Amino acid sequence: MDRSSVEKLIRSSRDRSRSLHNLSSCTRSPILRLQADEINHRNEKFLDQIGGAASEVDRSVLLPSRSRYSLLITDAEGIVIESYAPEGMEAEFQRNGLVRGSVWDERVAGTNGISMSMQTGRVLTVLGDEHFYTCFHGFSCSSAPLMDAENNLIGTITLVGSVRRRQEEHALCEQVIRRASRQFQTRLFRTFHSDKLTGRALSQDPVSRRLFETLVACDDAGVVVSYLPLWRDSARPSAHQDLVGRHVSDLKDLNITLRGPVAVPPRRRVMHSDLPRIPDRIEKETTLGRLIKEGGRLPILAERARKLVAHRVPVLICGAPGVGTEGFAKALLEEQGLISPVGVTLDAARNGAEADLSEALTSVGFLSDYPVDNVVPTLILRNIESLSAEAQLVLERFLDVDPSMSGMKARPPAVLFTAGRAWSELERDDSIPRSLLYLLGQAVVELPPVAQRECDAVLDNVIAESFTDPIEIADSARDVLMGYPWPGNRREMHAVLREALICGNGRRINVTDLPARLLPSRQDAAKERPRASLKDALDSTNWNVSKAARLLGKSRATVNRWIASEGLQRPEQR
């Protein structure tokens, strides 16, 4: 709510407190408190309504350590059933009634954040002298309503702090409790509809740019049986109205993110008779077109892989570490126009990947059966050799389907896996069960190392992909780069170029800028002192003779003699 609307409501509440409730603002201890038995009874009733402890309103989540805010949770009648006071300030908050059992109904407590939030069903803050009672003028109270799965008020959550805090802190309190309130109601909605597929439906007003979010629940056929708007004012965006009875695939104006229950998500049995559409040839200016210029069997591998992706066959792209498996996977999707907002890229080596993978596979499966705007769902799963045991089971269930059933999907997904190891190594290792390994390896594309490619083309591609500013490479430096075997492949090449730019002048890479491991041994290098090496060292150091001497491993006097003997001059003196 805007502040003027809040102030208008507060004035109305203060008027009622005086004229209707006959309260006196000078009362020193106005808050009533219930007996312990009554508080316990109300607390048990509240926990029954929400299905046990709620992590969304947990003190450790909402309050940072050493916070100076008090947290209050009330039931639907404004009775505090849980309170947390800052350490060392318990007595002050207790003296002002900010404790379990206190009654914050407007008829008793006058104008306050809890009663205002219950009356309006909105998140708002009551500051200082906006409270009816004078004894509360030192406090700022930000309150949010807690609603159940059917939008019924079941309580409030409040953060209480000093009114002398900055305005930004008051706004932050509102933001924290608003988010907690929405997450709280989302969990209750999903619990209430635990036997159904639930999700979020989002839209944005094109003029005000305001986001609207609605929770939806679908039956086994994918038809919406219940929905719950998560905004509190009177706005009625048309895309969010009358959703019950409509199929999720028909909600064209909403961006839908679904998550499944324990049950298998519903499937629409539609025969997919469209023939795969494969571009006639790989365009040279696409990412895939630039990659195949690197040679080393890449043109043949790319042709095979693009046909497999077009037929929606899961493809495993593997090879030695650093060969660019993820970049190759993205290039395949890009070449066939499959890059979209519903595409998912996950890293199996990341902590918590099991939960993300489970949710991603559910979403991919559902969007395959119920496509939105003819968008093909895609999944790139990186580092499959790092899959945990739990994630392996989830992925095996997803992949282990009757091949004849794949054509029943309305929009089959494009699924790509990458591994930082050769296929032969994956087969020898027992970390991936055989039952899953050959599901992952239904089609295997093994990328060659950089040593088997056209190194010049690889170098140009790595520069184009990784560096925005143009880079000049001296001929002598390029010769060194071309002669190096690159055991770390494209990843090592990128690291070497980055190091050379940082250690050089940032524009041109000379031999003296390259790491020592790329260069010939010191004994071999001492046999010759070509003019180019001296020029490279001077160029890299912007003609700082002392620095150039250190790069060449010579004294400053020796370098000065070389400069004189070669007839070199500073660029500005030419």
Reported as a single tens digit per residue, the pLDDT across 191-244 is: 888 888 888 888 888 888 888 999 998 887 788 999 999 888 788 888 899 999
H or E element in which residue 268 lies: none
Nearest in space to 120 (alpha carbons), one of 34, 2, 217, 238: 2
Q: Using CA atoms, how far apart are residues 364 and 367, in angstroms rounded to an integer? A: 5
Q: At what angle do helices 556-566 and 545-552 cross, to 10 degrees?
A: 100
Measured between alpha carbons, how far is 124 from 135 in angstroms, rounded to an integer?
A: 20
Please check the confidence at residue 400 and state whether its pLDDT lies above 70. yes
State the Cα–Cα distance between residues 8 and 5, nearest whole angstrom.
5
Give the separation between CA 124 and CA 174, rounded to whole angstroms.
7
Write out pLDDT tens, residues 405-444: 555 677 889 999 999 999 999 999 888 998 899 999 899 9
pTM of the model: 0.49
Q: Which two tokens stand for residue 62?
A: 């909402």
Picking from 111-120, 169-178, 296-305, which range would have the lowest pLDDT averaged per residue? Answer: 169-178
* Encoded tokens for 194: 């635990």
Q: What is the CA radius of gyration of the chain?
A: 33
C-alpha–C-alpha distance, residues 184 and 166, integer Å: 27
Architecture of domain 3-188: 2-Layer Sandwich (3.30)
Q: What are phi and psi of 543, to 5 degrees?
A: 65, 35
The whole-number pLDDT of residue 505 equals 82
Q: What is the mean pLDDT of residues 535-549?
A: 77
Q: How distant, in Å, are the alpha carbons of 94, 170, 247 from that of 251?
A: 52, 38, 7
CA 496 to chain centre: 30
Query: Please, which residues bridge with residue 143 across strands?
Result: 124, 158
User: CB count, 10 Å around CB of 6?
Assistant: 18
Do 198 and 261 meet the contact criterion of CB atoms below 8 Å apart? yes
Is the per-residue pLDDT at 52 higher than 80? no
| Cβ neighbours, 10 Å, residue 187 | 16
pLDDT of 265 > 60? The answer is: no
Walk across the sheet containing 211-218 and list its strands. 224-229, 211-218, 197-204, 255-259
Q: Which CATH number fits domain 287-448: 3.40.50.300, 1.10.10.10, 3.40.390.10, 3.40.50.10490?
A: 3.40.50.300
Residues of the chain with CATH 3.30.450.40: 3-188
207: how many CB neighbours lie within 10 A of its CB? Answer: 6
570: Cβ–Cβ under 8 A, 6 or more apart, which residues?
543
Tokens of 452: 């088997």
Q: Where in the chain is the domain with CATH 3.40.50.300?
A: 287-448
